[in-house]
Amino acid sequence: MRSPSTRRTAGGEPISSEVTDRPITLSQVARRLEDSGSGAVVLFVGRVRPEVQAGRRLTGLDYEADRRMALARLSDLERQARRRFGTRRIHVVHRIGRLRVGTASVIIGVAAAHRSMAFEAARFLIEELKREVPIWKTDRWARGPTGRRRRTRRRPRGARSPG
Amino acid sequence: MRSPSTRRTAGGEPISSEVTDRPITLSQVARRLEDSGSGAVVLFVGRVRPEVQAGRRLTGLDYEADRRMALARLSDLERQARRRFGTRRIHVVHRIGRLRVGTASVIIGVAAAHRSMAFEAARFLIEELKREVPIWKTDRWARGPTGRRRRTRRRPRGARSPG
Amino acid sequence: MPLAERKRRQEAWMTRTVQLTLFATAREAVGASRLERAVPSTGVRLDTLLESIAEEHPRLRPILRNARVARNGEYVVGKRLRVRPGDEIAIHPPYSGG
Amino acid sequence: MPLAERKRRQEAWMTRTVQLTLFATAREAVGASRLERAVPSTGVRLDTLLESIAEEHPRLRPILRNARVARNGEYVVGKRLRVRPGDEIAIHPPYSGG
């Protein structure tokens, strides 16, 4: 994760996304989008939301990833977004490990000539990330047993952590 | 502009938006969105895009505002967005004065429980800002006469500066 | 209302003038961002006032057709309302912020 | 391929084993994030391999029905393909990142 500009997929394409167990910040993503030709930048931050269920309080989420495949899928998604929306810069970072409530789990940044491209690409990336990238979260509750967070019908999609 | 938390509209509502002749930054907006209950943050940055037309190079844009009315309209838009999308925090800053190519002219930040609210509110705010807030830009070209930037049919909407 | 503005309005009322603020293309058409016009203390209809200014500044006329007009920070609906000494009129061509 | 991975695969080939990596609910159902299984050098069908593991770990069976399976970092289409010593199989329950 240290030198993302030199990492490449098996196919030789540069990978700009990151899956990291360190804190992620807006400024780290914004830096990667610097481009004087882009008139619009859209940034999305997903954070662990507080929740109480049946008297139990969510203290955080544990994130895990199939890191190699996650990077390959993120790099696919970046390529798709570039092609579909004509964006100029994309950078996605996803944090894994034990994250407390309020902590950023994912940051997506897109720079494009026009705002509609940037908005649509950012939305596309977060929706596809949730569906297609091998990353998982598990709930951690203050008391009682833990319950895995599934793409479940029990709750509306994206209920707690929209990131 | 110095103490936005104490400024109020004629109706007594707090105004959180800013119209300023100083540089605007992502972090100044992100700070205003801090809220542990928000699972999603969306930030939009509009910047002056480079352009060449008939051999002339755009060097920047001059922005002016009817400041009092602009703040009142921005505060209306914030209220509308809160009501329509159920967002938790909104902060909008618009810069005025002489802005060179590459400079941020507007930053919109929205924090909400879920990502769809945050994306939709941010998009709503920038579209409405362009239509409903008394702020104007004028082109500055490297050579030749200046041409005002109108909501014109000559160019697609939002052609140069999507912000 | 800030003190400076209150003072300006009071002076305008005493000199029986209306202040017009012109933005963007309206400012360029007139060559000034502010105009002052004396009006009777009983006031004058807004459309009459604007017509007299358009006669002095013909380039302003097409701009006024597409402009919003505000009095004392509130948009004017219809232009038949009366403008009185101390009022502040703003001419807003179509917005292009962002 | 990093040196460590190359070495691991070489050892797996020599000991004629397949490595399985289990994520999320699959890991919890089995109680381990890795499993190793000896396979003949001619390989074994993926569905046969997974069935034998599901017999040992019945809680894994419903999870396998909704999981994607990857071999050496590529998703498997159909589960009839053969797995050979040195292969790495990953079990991916539905994703929930973001």
Q: Which of B10, B94, B150 sits opposite C97 (nearest CB)?
A: B94
Consecutive H or E run containing B98 = strand B97-100
- Shortest CA distance from C1: residue in chain B: B10
Selected residue with higher pLDDT from C5 and B14: C5
Residue C98 lies in a domain: no
What pLDDT does residue D28 have? Answer: 96
| CATH for C16 | 3.10.20.30
**DSSP-derived secondary structure for C22-90:** E-HHHHHHHT-SEEEEE--TT-EEHHHHHHHHHHH-TTHHHHHHH-EEEETTEEPSSS-SEE-TT-EEE
Whether chains A and B touch (3+ CB pairs under 8 A) is answered by yes
The Cα–Cα gap between C73 and C22 comes to: 13
Residues of A with CB below 8 A from D30's CB? none
Confidence check: pLDDT of C47 > 90: yes
- Say whether D78 sits in a helix, a strand or coil: coil
Whether chains B and C touch (3+ CB pairs under 8 A) is answered by yes
Which residue of B24, B27, B29, B41 is the best one to mutate when testing the A interface, meaning the one whose CB has the most A CBs within 10 A?
A: B41
Residue D97 lies in a domain: no
Structure-token pair, residue B128:
């409405």
Q: Which of A68, A94, A149 sits opposite D96 (nearest CB)?
A: A149
Write down the H helix ranges in A37-114: 67-85
Residue D98 lies in a domain: no
Residue C26 lies in a domain: yes
Task: Kindly state the average pLDDT of the residues C12-23.
Answer: 88
* pLDDT band at B151; cut points 50, 70, 90: very low
Q: In the sheet where C17-22 sits, what is the strand order?
A: C34-38, C17-22, C88-92, C68-71, C74-75
CB D94 within 8 A of CB A150: yes
* pLDDT band at B159; cut points 50, 70, 90: very low
Residue C50 lies in a domain: yes
What pLDDT does residue A13 have? Answer: 57
C92/chain B closest Cα distance in angstroms: 7
CB A50 within 8 A of CB A102: yes
The Cα–Cα gap between B65 and B137 comes to: 9
**Regarding beta strands C74-75 and C17-22, do their DSSP bridges make them parallel or antiparallel, or are they unpaired?**
unpaired
Residues of A with CB below 8 A from B39's CB? 46-49, 160-163
What pLDDT does residue A95 have? Answer: 98
B21/chain A closest Cα distance in angstroms: 19
CB pairs under 8 A between B and C: 68
What pLDDT does residue A144 have? Answer: 55
- Shortest CA distance from B107: residue in chain C: C98
Q: What is the ipTM of this complex?
A: 0.86
CA contacts within 13 A on the Cβ side of B4: 16
- Shortest CA distance from A106: residue in chain D: D98
Residues of B with CB below 8 A from A50's CB? 36-37
Q: Look at B19-23, B131-135, B146-150, D19-23 and tell me which has the smallest mean pLDDT.
A: B146-150
Which residue of B135, B153, B154 is the best one to mutate when testing the C interface, meaning the one whose CB has the most C CBs within 10 A?
A: B135
Q: How many structural domains are present in chain D?
A: 1
What is the extent of the structural domain holding D82? 3-92
The Cα–Cα gap between A41 and B132 comes to: 22
Question: What's the mean per-residue pLDDT of chain D?
Answer: 92
Residue D17 lies in a domain: yes
Whether chains C and D touch (3+ CB pairs under 8 A) is answered by no
The list of chain A residues with pLDDT below 70 reads 1-15, 144-163
What pLDDT does residue D9 have? Answer: 76
| Domains assigned to chain B | 2-142 (3.90.1170.40)
Those residues whose C-beta lies under 8 Å from the C-beta of residue A16, and which sit 6 or more positions away, are A4, A5, A32, A75, A78, A90, A91, A92
Q: Which of A27, A36, A45 sits opposite B41 (nearest CB)?
A: A45
What pLDDT does residue A82 have? Answer: 96
What pLDDT does residue B2 have? Answer: 42
What pLDDT does residue C94 have? Answer: 98
Q: Look at A78-92, A116-130, B142-156, D19-33 and tell me which has the smallest mean pLDDT.
A: B142-156
Residue D20 lies in a domain: yes
What pLDDT does residue B119 have? Answer: 98
What pLDDT does residue B36 have? Answer: 86
CB B46 within 8 A of CB B133: no
Task: Kindly state the average pLDDT of the residues C21-32.
Answer: 97
Residue C97 lies in a domain: no
